[in-house]
Amino acid sequence: MFDSYRAQDRATAEALIAPDFVFTSPQDDHIDRAAYFERCFPTADRFTRQELLHVVEVGAEDVVMVYEYDVRDGGTFRNAELLTVVDGRLTEVQVFFGGAAR
């Protein structure tokens, strides 16, 4: 999913995201799949680099990932996400914004 977002490969992303998908971040409160594809998915162009730093399984269906990214208008930041995967498809993503990494 991370790669499909960066490449803006919507077909692959749609195959990986469950129909009942829910996305939450400090800017989006429990939005559905359609709203995610409209608002969030097209934003990959604001990043010049994204690197996964940690991916940790924390339960039968949950994974936590921490990543670092650079934005076009300057700065390096870190975020964490809690992803829920059921039957190989994302059902929920909760994003926690971090501060500047450097």
How do residues 73-89 score in pLDDT, each as one tens digit?
999 999 999 999 999 99
Evaluate whether 100 touches 77 at the Cβ level (below 8 Å): yes
pLDDT for residue 102 is more than 80: no
Q: What angle do CA 72, 80, 54 make, to 5 degrees?
A: 100
Percent of the chain with pLDDT over 70: 99
> Between 3.60.10.10, 3.10.450.50, 3.40.50.300, 1.10.3720.10, what CATH number should domain 1-100 receive?
3.10.450.50
The full set of domain ranges for the chain reads: 1-100
